[in-house]
Structure 1
Amino acid sequence: MSQIWEYKDGTRRRWRSTREDDSGGQRWKVLVHIPTNEVITSYEVLEQKLLELGWERYLSTANLLQFHKPSSVDLISVPSDFAKLKSMHMYDIAVKTRYVFKVRDP
């Protein structure tokens, strides 16, 4: 993506487009369940899909949800607030559940 620079009060800074979040990373990615082509819109939907794959709800705190698959050493950790789910969390899920989830632009 090209960069746009803004000059204000004698200083130069990079202008963020609307497709970037506050941390400077890309946003607007979605997690997609490949077999149904369904976009995951809540943790209830995600948990249902993970339970079907043999994942179990593991430790949960006020800030963190975790899922574990007993047949592996993999652990999926996501923020307890779905609105704080970032693309790095989505890619973590996609890598640990190959051919079931993918991350894409909407």
Structure 2
Amino acid sequence: MSQIWEFKDGATRRWRSTRDDDSGGQPWKVLVHASTNEVINSYDVLEQKLGELGWERYLSDHNLLRFHKPSSVDLISVPRDFSKLKSMHMYDIAVKTRYVFQVRDA
């Protein structure tokens, strides 16, 4: 499977396609702040938006960034390298912050 990356308007998109498939691929997912339609393209932006909701950075780990909301038992864990953020991490954030973040096709 080959991969092509595209950087456009502050968003990263990865198109996946197989060598036998000339129809292109499926677009990569992006995490979007719902009220502003802002694509989250760095952990600085994500941490700022989560901080506005009462989430705090939780315990250091050399592989993960973790965020905890003191009023809940939820914990958001994401890889420390933003380029390794996958759709499963994005959906985890969207579920734990209902109506604030959305996962969309890039």
TM range (shorter): 0.7 to 0.9
The alignment's TM-score, normalised by the length of structure 1, stands at 0.76
**Matches of 1:34 and 1:100, distance apart in 2:** 5
| Paired residue type of 1:61 | D
| Paired residue type of 1:73 | V
| Paired residue type of 1:33 | H
Is 1:70 matched up with 2:66?
A: no
| Paired residue type of 1:82 | F
Q: What SS is found at the alignment partner of 2:35?
A: coil
User: Which of structures 1 and 2 has the bigger CA Rg?
Assistant: 1
Other-structure match for 1:8: none
Other-structure match for 1:20: 16
Structure 1 runs of 4+ with >2 Å offset = 16-21
The alignment's TM-score, normalised by the length of structure 2, stands at 0.76
Q: CA deviation at 1:27?
A: 6.0
Q: CA deviation at 1:20?
A: 3.3
Query: Mind listing any 5+ residue stretches in structure 2 that lack a counterpart?
Result: 4-14, 18-25
Q: CA RMSD in A?
A: 1.7
Other-structure match for 1:36: 36
Other-structure match for 1:57: 57
Other-structure match for 1:11: none
Residues 27 and 87 of structure 1 are in contact (CA less than 8 Å); yes or no, is this contact kept in structure 2? no
| Paired residue type of 1:74 | D
Per-residue CA deviation, residues 26-75 of structure 1 (Å, 9 max, x unaligned), is 66100000011000000000000000000010012111000000000000
Other-structure match for 1:80: 80
